[in-house]
Each structure stands twice: as structure tokens, then as C-alpha cells.
Amino acid sequence: MVTDKEIVEGCMPILRDAQKEWGTVFLNAYQIWSILNEQGDPICVRLKESHGGSVGKGAGTPFTPVVRISQALSRSEKIERYYMDGRFTKFRIGEQDIEPGYPIYDIFRLR
């Protein structure tokens, strides 16, 4: 099992880079998951082992790597969380278009 601490540590560089590049910017867990995958981050392998590799609507399970990232980041005092209405939103992860599994999702930025 991947701990909250490990997930937060793996996501912090992504949130820092986004902040440096864009200033006050939010990312959602789908974007973070996509970036972790592109970077070949070892945490992805571990999350896939625990929760499978599918995310979003039709993943076949309500507890996906994206949900796990969202949970861990939501619990961190270093990260600010808000909610976004994601109706009509899709994400591109690799070569696949992903529709969020729920129409409201978390968005995150560094405090």
C-alpha cells in the first residue's frame, strides 16, 4: 500500500513546477496522475498494483489511483483544496480520453 506521505512527496514537485510556471494555479488529480505517468514515476507502479491502472468513468472500481491521489493530497496541510464542477470535462492521459467518474472533483495547489 502507498502511504499518504509517499503520494504527497511524489506530487509536491509537480505542484511546485506548476506554481513556478503559472503562479497561482490549480491541478486536479487526473492531471497529476497523467504527469506522474509521463515521468515514469515509480509511485505509479505501486498505485497500479494496489488500485489497478484504470481511472475515470468506467474504470470498474470506485477506488482508483486518481481517487487515492485525491485523498492523500486532501489530507495534507501543505496543500490547498477546492472543488470544481467537472461536467462536460475530459482529460487526455496517454492516448486515452478520460471522463471523470464523478462530476465534481478536487483541485489542488500549494499553500
* Nearest partner of 105 among 59, 61, 74, 77, judged by Cα: 74
Task: Indicate the pTM of the whole model.
Answer: 0.82
Is the pLDDT at 98 greater than 90, yes or no? no
At 6 the pLDDT is 93
Question: Would you state the pLDDT for residue 14?
Answer: 94
Residue 100: its pLDDT value, please?
A: 67
Q: What Rg value do the Cα atoms of the chain yield, rounded? A: 13
Distance CA 76, CA 50 (A): 21
Cβ(81)–Cβ(108) under 8 Å?
A: yes
Contact by Cβ (8 Å): 106, 85: no
pLDDT in tens, 41-79: 888 888 877 766 655 555 455 567 888 899 999 999 999
Q: pLDDT digits over 52-62, tens only?
A: 665 555 545 55
Q: Which residue did the predictor score with more confidence, 63 or 106?
A: 106
